[in-house]
Amino acid sequence: MRLVIAEDNVLLREGLVLLLTTVGHEVVAVAGSGPEVLPTLLECRPDAAILDVRLPPGFRDEGLRAAIQARKLMPGLPVLVLSQYVEETYAAELLADGAAGVGYLLKDRVSRVEEFQEALERVAAGGTALDPEVVSQLMTRRDPLDALTPREREVLALMAQGLDNPTIALSLRITERSVSKHIGNIFLKLDLPPDESGDRRVRAVLTYLEAGA
């Protein structure tokens, strides 16, 4: 199987290369940052891709975004996503893109060699491989605000009151930069991508109100 690996942790990346080549797969290319992923996949046209969710430069969702873009440009490309923690929004978005040939595993699953290999082969064959912890958290999640931290909830509550960023910063005694960062995380966790209308702030507040907060 021809594989592309996108992982910024050098030790883990080299470990994956060694593991996969030892069992007979060919790693045709590796990437260490988000901007490298899509061009590498388009050039190499691998049988499957193994991608870290968070990659430089932002360490947010670069790997996932690249995976979704690649599957649009290369329909059916099998993608196995690795993450340090259960990222519920990311997992849901990946599955929404189409469950065939996708996998989402926590990184500690890689150390269980046979289990990891089985998951990769299942994804490459067009199946689905979801970490049991991911399944558990997705099934038990009810409130869309559950993914927010207490501070992010505070920021969203003040947004719902119609306060602007400087006023929120003053109210919470934090910097405006911190407020902007919290709002960015809120948009990300509530699955509110940028759009032409620029009304993500309004949609975030509506989500807050609909949740009965």
CA quadruple 76, 31, 66, 7: dihedral sign: positive
The CATH label, of 3.40.50.10540, 3.40.50.2300, 3.30.420.40, 3.90.180.10, for the domain at 2-139 is: 3.40.50.2300
Whether residue 192 is predicted with pLDDT greater than 80 in this model: the reply is yes
Looking at the chain, the whole-number percentage of residues with pLDDT higher than 70 is: 86
Looking at the chain, the whole-number percentage of residues with pLDDT higher than 90 is: 47
Consecutive H or E run containing 27: strand 26-31
Token pair belonging to 210: 């609909």
What is the tens place of the pLDDT at every residue in 95-113? 665 557 888 888 887 888 8
Q: Where are the domains of the chain?
A: 2-139, 144-210
The contacts of residue 119 (CB under 8 Å, 6+ apart) are: 80, 103, 105, 109, 129
| More reliable by pLDDT, 200 or 52 | 52
pTM: 0.64
What pLDDT, on a 0 to 100 scale, did the predictor assign at position 89?
A: 65
CB 160 within 8 A of CB 133: no
What is d(CA 193, CA 14) in angstroms, rounded to the nearest whole number?
A: 33
List the beta strands (DSSP E) in 68-210: 79-83, 102-106, 128-130
Whether residue 188 is predicted with pLDDT greater than 80 in this model: the reply is yes
Whether residue 197 is predicted with pLDDT greater than 80 in this model: the reply is no
What is the tens place of the pLDDT at every residue in 122-178? 899 988 887 877 666 655 555 778 889 999 999 999 998 888 999 999 999 999 999
Count of residues in the chain: 213
CATH 1.10.10.10: does it fit domain 144-210?
A: yes
Please give the C-alpha separations between residue 133 and each of 38, 51, 109, 142, 156, in angstroms, as whole numbers.
28, 18, 11, 16, 28
Whether residue 193 is predicted with pLDDT greater than 60 in this model: the reply is yes
Which position has the token pair 């260490």?
A: 32
Q: For residue 102, with 0-12 CB atoms within 10 Å meaning exposed, 13-18 middle and 19 or more buried, which class applies?
A: buried
